[in-house]
Structure 1
Amino acid sequence: MGKSTTAAMFRDRGCAVWDADAAVHRLYAAGGDAVPPLGAAFPEAIVDGAVSRDRLRAAIDADPTALRRIEEIVHPLVRADRDAFAAAARAPVVVFDVPLLFETGADAEMDATVVVSVPSDVQEARVLARGTMTRPQFEAIRAKQMPDAEKRARADHVIDTTSLESAAHGVQQVLDALLHRS
């Protein structure tokens, strides 16, 4: 959808940007706060003192209850990381880059929500061009997510990321609206 590029545009304009995916990577790394509890629940997922995402995915594939158990462990840790970032941030606007914002209910904790959006064929082409995912993997992930139309309907702001120019314009419009409101 252009989420990372748009987050960088907010950062370039002086916003503090917290990235949920980066937080999970920190939590899963050797010494990360998620390693002990995930290791207790899924010992096969720990490799060299870190959480192996591939092994965690295999556990999810093998056990229909695994994802819920993982989320019960990881979501509070991610929330604590986000809260610590927010408490330390000194920027006039703090942006939380959260892929599953609406799905996890975290939107209720935000002052405003922004969705970045492109047509589904553009999204698919971008993801597959990275070479890190197959079409069936992409389709499986997209099937688990809230439909883009529903996210757009729930958002306070929608940024079209079809081009860098439209994304930059959308970022500036959101900042103008937020700064004017405060």
Structure 2
Amino acid sequence: MIVLGLTGSIGMGKSTVAQMFAEEGIAVFDADAEVHRLQGPEGPIVGAIEAAFPGTTGPQGVDRAELRARVFDHPEEFARLEAIVHPAVAGARESFLARHRDDALVVLDIPLLFETGGTVRVDQVVVVSAPPEIQRERVLARPTMSPERFEAILARQIPDADKRARADHVITTDGPIEATRAQVRALIACLARRAGG
């Protein structure tokens, strides 16, 4: 099995590329979706988050806006939250890998792959990238995003140029959607040949 780490900074099109891998029949572990599940209604870490951050949960699980406001500018609080979330996500990831152990290729979609040292758990890394002006336009089109929040998020992420330099593969998303899909298919074919699949 080849474990491919998929990452990219905010607004680069990583989720779209992950969906393309899934549409090609590749099993994809979506770390963000797993966090949503863990923090959703009756999620397994909701109780621990409420205990650590009282008033941030309810019947629908974690109030993400409230929790974000509580931890975003407070590194110690953010670290406390990560100490709850990361082990739970790691457990889900290991279960995913066990379920797909006979697959020739799987994808771990992890937004902060480099930032969290996640490269040790993958065989190769693909970075999804687009020019900064396209990234900015995409992110600021989101209804809950402000320029200030965008800059704060960028400050926590390794710069795109550094990610591209450290990647085994780069998929660009600044062209037509079918051009991106062609890159995904070419990469799958290349990795299948290497895996003997």
TM-score, normalised relative to structure 2: 0.87
Summarize the Cα distance change of 1:91–1:143 in structure 2 as closer, same or farther, 3 Å threshold.
Answer: same
Distance 1:62 1:140 in 2: 9
Map 1:59-74; keep pairs closer than 5 Å. 59-61=70-72, 63-74=74-85
What residue in structure 1 maps to residue 87 of structure 2? 76
1:62-85 deviation per Cα after TM superposition (whole angstroms, max 9, x unaligned): 744100111111001111111111
What residue in structure 1 maps to residue 69 of structure 2? 58
Distance 1:149 1:49 in 2: 38
Which of 183, 187, 190 aligns to 1:177? It is 190
1:46-103 deviation per Cα after TM superposition (whole angstroms, max 9, x unaligned): 1226111112112214744100111111001111111111211254321111100110
Distance 1:144 1:52 in 2: 22
Distance 1:140 1:73 in 2: 22
Distance 1:58 1:11 in 2: 33
Deviation at 1:130? Answer: 2.8
Letter in 2 for 1:165: E
Distance 1:62 1:148 in 2: 22
Distance 2:132 2:20 in 1: 22
Distance 2:92 2:180 in 1: 28
Q: Secondary structure at the match of 1:44?
A: coil
Q: Gaps spanning 5+ residues in structure 1: where?
A: none
Q: Secondary structure at the match of 1:65?
A: helix
Distance 2:163 2:129 in 1: 9
Moved more, 56-65 or 121-130: 56-65
Task: Give the structure, 1 or 2, with the largest relative contact order (CA under 8 Å, sep 6 or more).
Answer: 2
Deviation at 1:42? Answer: 0.9
What's the % identity of the aligned pairs?
A: 48
1:130 aligns with 2:142: yes
Map 1:1-182; keep pairs closer than 5 Å. 1-48=12-59, 50-61=61-72, 63-89=74-100, 91-163=103-175, 164-182=177-195
Deviation at 1:131? Answer: 2.2
Letter in 2 for 1:7: A
Deviation at 1:110? Answer: 0.3
Q: Gaps spanning 5+ residues in structure 2: where?
A: 1-11
Letter in 2 for 1:28: Q
Q: How many residues align?
A: 182
Structure with more of its chain in helix, by fraction: 1
